[in-house]
Structure 1
Amino acid sequence: MDKDAVLTHVLKQRRTPSLLGGEQPVSVMSSSRYVSQLTDREVENQLTDREVENQLTDREVENQLPSLDHAIRTALSGEVQTVVLVGGEGSGKTTALEKLVVDWAKGEHLQNFTYVLYFGLREIRSLKDELSLETLLQHHHSPVPSESMQLVLQKPEDVLFVFDDLDQYKLSLDPSVHTLCSDLSQAVSVSCMISSLLHGSLLRGAAFVVATRTTGWLEFLNGTRVEVSGFLKPQRETYFNGFFSDPAAANKALLHMERTLGFYDFCTSPRFCWTVCSIYKTLMDAGAKLPDTLTQLYVDILVHLMQALSLKEACNRELVQALGVMASHCSVSQNSSCTKEELHSFGFQKLLSSVGAFLNVDGDLESDACVFSFTSQLMQEFLLAVSFFLDMSVSEGMEKMWEKHKGHAKFLDLFLSGLSEPVQRRPLVILLGEFNSDRISDFKSWFKSSSEETLKGCYNDRHHRCFHLLHQAQNQSLVKEIISPSARTGISYGDLSLQDCVALNYVWSCLGEMKLLNLYRTRDLTDEKAEVLAPAMSLSHKIQLSYSTLSTGAVSHLASALSRGRTEELDLAHTSLGDEKLKVLCAGLRDCKLHTLKLLVCRLTEAGCEDLMCALTSGSSQLRVLEMMFNQIGDLGFMKLCKALQSPQCKLQQLQLRSCELTAVSMEALSAALCSGKSELRKVDLTSNTIGDGGVEALCKSLQHPHCKLQSLNLFDTELTGACCPHLMETLMSEHCSLLELDLSVNDLGHEGALLLCQALSCPGCPVEKLGLTRCELTQQVFKELGSLLRSGTSRLKSLIVGLNKVGDQGVKHLWDAVAHPACLLEELDVEMTDLTDACVEDLCAAVRASKTLKSLELRNNSLTDASVPALVQVMQDSCNMQEMNLKYNDFSEDVFEMLDECDKIRY
């Protein structure tokens, strides 16, 4: 077979080049602008986690993925007979296939095939007559000589068919709907012939490469599927450098595209890159401003195309409106192509010769069999938006138009939003005449009302769409009008796409300041997304990132935003941050307004505490609250933090260290910090650490020191016994003790230890106002002493938590008697699971009625029954002081639920 003839056939221009149709393959190859794409989505997906973990650059990713050309050749070199190339509009499938054939014809690749036959199904689908495969090869391909035909038939394994545009093949590939043929000389329909070839009944043993957009016919094709992945940033850079002769112009164009459009998926399309390069070059040569939005880009494209046609204004308007009618028809019918008869009905009668700038024209323009389709889906939707605003009739309002096209047109509302702004539509008004002001007003009214309804809801994807429309409009006053203060907080915008990040950042920047940037459960906050969101971060007083996954690069942008912004609270709980990323974050903590940092469950160790220490002592840190619960920092890590506490530069006031693997060893360091005279610490939570009696003894020394400012100490579940109570008693009676809150819950203090505490608490100078003694093995005698101190007139206790001590009605009666006493200051009382029964209710109600201070009563998990409900409801309704009574998990039946509902201060 003559390879030169194949080369001539493939490199022959089959269509008129167009701005929207992309660069012709022959031009791409002859100008050395061909950039092989990456492929194999499986490999790319496997790399995603490693990109986040190791911060692989686009170039490194590119080096680890096979090229499209290589993937096809590799598949064909094995036993695979069919390779299916799948990609979207303008993804470069045709160029890749033609490059494949050209490489074979030049003797560079696929030399194991003697014959490579290229067919565009878009071109041969119009063949109406039945014909044989022999006839097709001899007359509708680069002619296969008759002497070669016999060799093709005898050795099909040496033949490779290349079929492009399978999605344009409208008939089914389901073998059950065809009578497949096997005779090469038998005349059949083109559809039967294609199906017979692909299903192996005709020319069995031949190989196939088939290119298609995603279509339902794929399920009937066996073989290796190769996804066209499109251009990553480095490939776009290569393409732009190949397009522009001036490197500076190439760099300017690429940077502008990445900044304004790079977040759209279609920017990976080689065809779209060609369109952008072409229009940017035209604008740059004319010294014009490059577009800031997608709408502005398509305004520039439409102006360029219309000016090239050199029509009068009336004809320009008529052509765009006819294209809009066709766009609406294609959108609603979901039919990508139209006949010549349909085109006439749309209003193209006098303008048929001009449609080539916007439409694919398949067949002879003079023939009634000619078929027309939009070259670009984006331009189709843009023309629909323009024609809607050009139409001067009042037959169709925005609501009706939107309902008709919703679900079929992805970018229609974005284009409408952009075109509703005078600045963006002005070039089209000059070219096409005035837009319908009533329709523009109708759109704006629809947009405002629908946005208001959307922002009341809790669906963040709908919020995102509203933000996209605002971003497209580029109107700051409109943003402030639509995004009311009530719509600015609460909802989580986690799991943002890059496009969502751009829109959200635009809205936040227009507003100028935000209370909360809620990114809860953002599972893939990459370097690129965080870079886009950085300005929004710097404008937010609180950033919520709990349960998120942040790349190292994202943390770097977050740190930068903190250092120059107004953020006062940052929540990174459950982010698995790790020490290395914490080091990056700490660079931003040294000079920022951050007051609260939440690092709960962040996989931090001793190493991370070193960086925190440096940040806390930097001299400009404003950090007041640090939450580090459930991290393995251990004693060594905590001692580093204690060292920071002794610095006059450290302003930390609250430190939460629950379950951080601390022991008595590090309590000496904390004690030293507290009595150093430099620590500002007011609150420490040591819950669920193995502090033990020895650790408490060390702490008690500092709590008695005149320089210690600690007001709240939580020792919940820290393995204490009654042996620590003498030290605590001495501390609480000390003149320098400043503790207002002390929680000793879930420790085995026992009867004797608790009595010592009661003795201390009754001391006139004891400052404690809130005491936690849940599940401390307390006895009725201890409850009697607690009741006595509450009545003493010297106790300052306002909150007492003594649940899970099974003392029954008799034990708790001492507390009811105390609550009723005028000297008792108690505001909160928790007696959950203390074995209370209905017998206590009379005393309970008497206490509530008598008390002037009690506001909250916790009675969960006791044995109260329906019989108690009337009295409890009545006393709560009568009481002016009481705000809440919790009766959950008692022995109530559904019969009393309606009665309990009568009092909104009761929870049950």
Structure 2
Amino acid sequence: MDKDTVLTHILKLKGMSTLLGGELPVSVINNNKYISLLTSEAQVTDRNVDDNLPSLDYAIHAALSGEIKTVILVGPEGSGKTTVLKKLVVDWANGEHLQTFSYVFHFQLRELNSLNGMLSLEKLMLHCHDHIPPESLCLVLQKPEDVLFVFDDLDQCKDSLDPSVHTLCSDPSQVASLSCLVASLLHGSLLKGATFVVATRPTGCLKFLSGTQVEGLGFLKPQREAYFNGFFTDPATANKALTHMERTLGFYDICTSPRFCWTVCSMYKSLMDAGAKLPETLSQLYVDILVHLIQTLSLNEACNRELVLALGKMASHCSLDQHWSCTKEEMDSFGFQRFLTSVGVFFQVDGDRSDQCVFSFHSQLMQEFLLAVSLFLDKATSEGMEKMLEKHKCRAEFLDIFLSALSEPIQRRPLETLLGELNSDRIMDFKCWFRSSSERTLKGWYKDKHHHCFHLLHQAQNESLVKEIITSSVRIGISYGDLSLQDCVALNYVVTCLGVMEQLNLYQTRNLTEEKAERLTPTMSLSHNIILSDSSLSTGAVPHLASALSRGVTKELDLSQTRLGDEKLKIFCAGLRDCKLHVLKLQVCRLTEASCEALVSVLTSGTSQLCVLDMSFNQIGDQGFTKLCKALHSPHCKLQELQLQSCALTAASMKALSAALCSGQSQLRKVNLTQNTIGHSGVEALCKSLQYPLCKLQSLKFFDNELTGVCCPHLMEALMSEHSSLSELDLSANDLGQEGALLLCQALRRPGCLIEKLGLKRCELTQPVFKELGSVLRSGTAQLKSLTVGINEVGDQGVKHLWDAIAHPSCLLEELDVEMTGLTDACVEDLCAAIRTSKTLKSLELRNNSLTDASVPALVQVMQDSHNMQEMNLKYNNFSEEVFDMLNECDKIRY
């Protein structure tokens, strides 16, 4: 096969570069403008990174160097597939690659759609490659293993490639339809042993293809930069254009398309040459493009209007019927008779004879934009906008986006100067639909629909419309987690228009990249409460988060379960300047002692307003916690609450905490030491600090600290002290036993004891302890308002002491938890009597007991009669379904 002839044939210029169609692949190759496109062999986690991503050329060459017989190149429109395939043939003809093949045949199936009737493989090859002598074709067909077929535009085959709907060919001279020939080749019945490289958009035809699939990513940001620098001769102009595109469009996937980059560059150049303003949104870009294209035709207003209506009819036809192209006959039916010589600016035209030409839109986006314009332009149809949108649902992704922009007078004005006024009734119809659908959407729980609502508002660019739709009542339930970069931009626009957000819920954002965080920085700075729990933050995102807090209004930040790690936390702390943060939650963030020093620098900075710090489930250990305690000695530290559940603390660090509490500088009011093995000596150290006049601690939790009754004398001494300010003490899940608990009861009797909330769940309590607790509640000196004594098996007799106490006028109890204490129906009479008599009881926890259906009427009645009681929890008792209706009668009962 004469490679020079093939080279001449493949590099023969066809058509011309157009604004929508991009630069011709042959021109790119001839002028050495080829920029390697990337393939997604490795997972891309940041759109700015292309390290270790191979080029498409490399991936295809590597696949063909082995035993692989079919390589399928998949990519969206304009992603450079055609250029890659032509470059593949050129490299072969130049002797650079794929030299194991003696023959390479290149077919563009889009161009073959104009062929009518049946034809054989031989005739097809001679038709497309007329430079091959017929006598040589026989030699080619005899050695299929030496042949490489390159099929472009496979998705534009008119008929299905499903082998089950064809009678597959085996003879190269056998006539069949084009799709049957292609299916026969790809499924190995025709010219078995040949090798294939095929390119297709990601459509349904993929399920009928087998082989190695190579996905094209196109241009990431570095390739876009190289492309813009190659397009614009002046580096400053190139940088201005690229910077603007990245800010206004760079978050769209379409920006990876080389063809789209060509369109943007061409449009920007035209606008900059004219001294015009560059577009701020995708919709504004397409308004500028359409205005530019119409102006090149130099038609009058009536013709412009007629042409756009015809374009809209074709766009609707292609959208609804999912056709890529239309015949001359179809074009005539749309009203193009007068414009066929002008449509080259809008369409790709394929075919040799005018009556057999096929026409297709260069760009799916332009097709959808023309459809949107025509819907607002057409005055003949009476079909409602909601019905029209429903008809095109899932077929025209950007249709409502474009309609949203065009519904705003300032955005459609450039078009109206060429087309006349759009249909005001249809615009009003769309606006009514938009308002009502937004109201429904924002009341729901589908965050993807919330995000889409923001996209529509972003395109509309109307601040008053944002405030009208995103009211304060709908902001509360909106969740914004797991945003795409495009979502970040739209959300940022909405929040900026609103001016403030009470809560920014980014829960479960699986990949908050640097680029996303940068886009969200203004939004975060305007949010009082930011929830990022169970999210994944890249290292590059952390400084942007810190920057947002430093210049914003955020008072609460939840980074729980973000697996942040020491290094990212250090970056975060170093970036904080003058922030207003009051609450910082860092549960399960894989922090160690190394993080504590960075936190100390924040707490003692002199500008920190941090009041609550949650370090739970981080292995900071004694040394890390001792460092944190040093901050408590600083007059600049405003910390009032420390959550330290399961932080690997022991008695060794409790002395440091005790010293801080007694320093006179510490503002600490609450400390949670749940699930730390601090031991009796640790409790003793803290109890000493509780007796110190300068200690301000009000809440202390020793939940599940492996304590026993040995610690109770120290606790009693602390509670008996006149200097103790402790009002909440939780000793649950410790084996205090009867003797230890009775000592605590003595302290609770002291007239000056301030304990209002006491937790003794699962503490091995006995009936005598419950008797003493009942006596304390009746004493008139106890301040107890909340008592938790569940999971202590004392039965009806034990709990009866509490029912009697609740009925006493001196009892102040508001909340009682007697879960799993062995209660039966026998207690219900006393229970109900206590509720009727009490003037303070509001909440009763009765889960996991042995109450039966017999108790239900009395419990429902007493809850309905009680003015004080707000909630009774009866879950996991022995009720049958027969009493569920009765329990439903009282909305204060949970079961």
Q: Which TM-score band (shorter chain)?
A: over 0.9
Distance 1:859 1:220 in 2: 62
**Number of the residue aligned with 2:368:** 381
My pick for the range that moved more, 818-827 or 268-277, is 818-827
Distance 1:575 1:174 in 2: 47
- Which aligned pairs between 1:768-787 and structure 2 lie closer than 5 A? 768-787=755-774
**Number of the residue aligned with 1:166:** 154
**Number of the residue aligned with 1:445:** 432
**Number of the residue aligned with 1:54:** none
1:447 CA displacement: 0.7
Q: Which runs of 5+ in 1 are unaligned?
A: 52-56
1:281 CA displacement: 0.7
1:851 CA displacement: 2.1
Q: 1:177 to 1:514 in 2, by over 3 A?
A: closer
Query: Deviations 1:637-674 (Å, cap 9, x if unpaired)?
Result: 11111111111111010111111111111110100000
Distance 1:868 1:150 in 2: 95
1:736 CA displacement: 0.7
Question: AA paired with 2:217?
Answer: S
**Number of the residue aligned with 1:573:** 560
> Would you say the 8 A contact 2:709–2:737 is kept in 1?
yes
**Number of the residue aligned with 1:556:** 543
1:337 to 303, 325, 337: 325
Q: 1:809 to 1:146 in 2, by over 3 A?
A: closer
**Number of the residue aligned with 1:714:** 701
SS class of match (1:108): coil
**Number of the residue aligned with 1:319:** 307
> Would you say the 8 A contact 1:762–1:794 is kept in 2?
yes
Query: Deviations 1:614-634 (Å, cap 9, x if unpaired)?
Result: 111111111111111111111
My pick for the range that moved more, 292-301 or 790-799, is 790-799
1:226 CA displacement: 1.6
Question: AA paired with 1:10?
Answer: I
Q: 1:469 to 1:780 in 2, by over 3 A?
A: same
Q: 1:755 to 1:19 in 2, by over 3 A?
A: same
> Would you say the 8 A contact 1:711–1:738 is kept in 2?
yes
Distance 1:18 1:494 in 2: 40
- Which aligned pairs between 1:329-728 and structure 2 lie closer than 5 A? 329-364=317-352, 366-367=354-355, 369-393=356-380, 395-728=382-715
Distance 2:886 2:178 in 1: 79
> Would you say the 8 A contact 1:33–1:243 is kept in 2?
no
1:299 to 273, 279, 287: 287
> Would you say the 8 A contact 1:5–1:142 is kept in 2?
no
List structure 1 runs of 4+ shifted beyond 6 angstroms. none
1:133 CA displacement: 4.2
Query: Deviations 1:374-394 (Å, cap 9, x if unpaired)?
Result: 111111110111111111235
SS class of match (2:540): helix
2:204 to 194, 212, 216: 216
1:191 CA displacement: 4.1
Q: 1:410 to 1:734 in 2, by over 3 A?
A: same
Q: 1:437 to 1:365 in 2, by over 3 A?
A: farther
1:789 to 772, 776, 779: 776
- Which aligned pairs between 1:236-251 and structure 2 lie closer than 5 A? 236-251=224-239
Query: Deviations 1:657-696 (Å, cap 9, x if unpaired)?
Result: 1111111111101000000000000000111111121111
Q: 1:173 to 1:874 in 2, by over 3 A?
A: closer
1:303 CA displacement: 0.9
SS class of match (1:228): strand
Query: Deviations 1:465-500 (Å, cap 9, x if unpaired)?
Result: 111000000000000001111111123221111111
> Would you say the 8 A contact 1:38–1:231 is kept in 2?
yes
> Would you say the 8 A contact 1:790–1:824 is kept in 2?
yes
Distance 1:463 1:846 in 2: 51
Q: Given the alignment of the two structures, is residue 232 of structure 1 paired with residue 230 of structure 2, yes or no?
A: no
Q: 1:870 to 1:181 in 2, by over 3 A?
A: closer
Distance 2:150 2:864 in 1: 84
Distance 2:741 2:817 in 1: 17
> Would you say the 8 A contact 2:547–2:576 is kept in 1?
no
**Number of the residue aligned with 2:101:** 113
Please report the RMSD computed on the Cα atoms of aligned residues, expressed in angstroms.
1.9
1:738 to 700, 718, 725: 725
1:154 CA displacement: 4.3
Percent sequence identity over matched residues? 76
SS class of match (1:23): coil
SS class of match (1:809): helix
Residue correspondences, number:
895
Distance 2:760 2:314 in 1: 77
Q: 1:11 to 1:869 in 2, by over 3 A?
A: same
Q: Given the alignment of the two structures, is residue 199 of structure 1 paired with residue 197 of structure 2, yes or no?
A: no
1:150 CA displacement: 4.9
Question: AA paired with 1:84?
Answer: I
> Would you say the 8 A contact 2:114–2:358 is kept in 1?
no
Q: 1:439 to 1:133 in 2, by over 3 A?
A: closer
1:361 CA displacement: 1.6
**Number of the residue aligned with 1:152:** 140
SS class of match (1:117): strand
Distance 1:875 1:86 in 2: 69
**Number of the residue aligned with 1:284:** 272
Q: 1:751 to 1:181 in 2, by over 3 A?
A: closer
Q: Given the alignment of the two structures, is residue 884 of structure 1 paired with residue 841 of structure 2, yes or no?
A: no
1:401 CA displacement: 1.5
My pick for the range that moved more, 316-325 or 200-209, is 200-209
Question: AA paired with 1:216?
Answer: G
1:435 CA displacement: 1.0
> Would you say the 8 A contact 1:693–1:719 is kept in 2?
no
Distance 1:188 1:797 in 2: 92
> Would you say the 8 A contact 1:489–1:517 is kept in 2?
no
SS class of match (1:787): helix
> Would you say the 8 A contact 2:156–2:324 is kept in 1?
no
1:99 to 64, 67, 87: 87
Q: Which runs of 5+ in 2 are unaligned?
A: none
Query: Deviations 1:357-402 (Å, cap 9, x if unpaired)?
Result: 11122224632x2222211111111011111111123522212221
Distance 2:758 2:294 in 1: 80
My pick for the range that moved more, 313-322 or 746-755, is 746-755
Distance 2:623 2:402 in 1: 59
> Would you say the 8 A contact 2:442–2:478 is kept in 1?
no
Q: 1:840 to 1:182 in 2, by over 3 A?
A: closer
Distance 1:903 1:178 in 2: 68
**Number of the residue aligned with 2:24:** 24
Query: Deviations 1:282-309 (Å, cap 9, x if unpaired)?
Result: 1111111110011110011111111111
Query: Deviations 1:430-463 (Å, cap 9, x if unpaired)?
Result: 1111111111111111111111111111111111
Question: AA paired with 2:34?
Answer: Y
Return the TM-score normalized by structure 1. 0.95
Question: AA paired with 1:741?
Answer: E
Distance 2:188 2:884 in 1: 73
Question: AA paired with 2:516?
Answer: K
Question: AA paired with 1:828?
Answer: E
My pick for the range that moved more, 416-425 or 801-810, is 801-810
Query: Deviations 1:798-832 (Å, cap 9, x if unpaired)?
Result: 12212222222222222222222222222222222
Q: 1:337 to 1:675 in 2, by over 3 A?
A: same
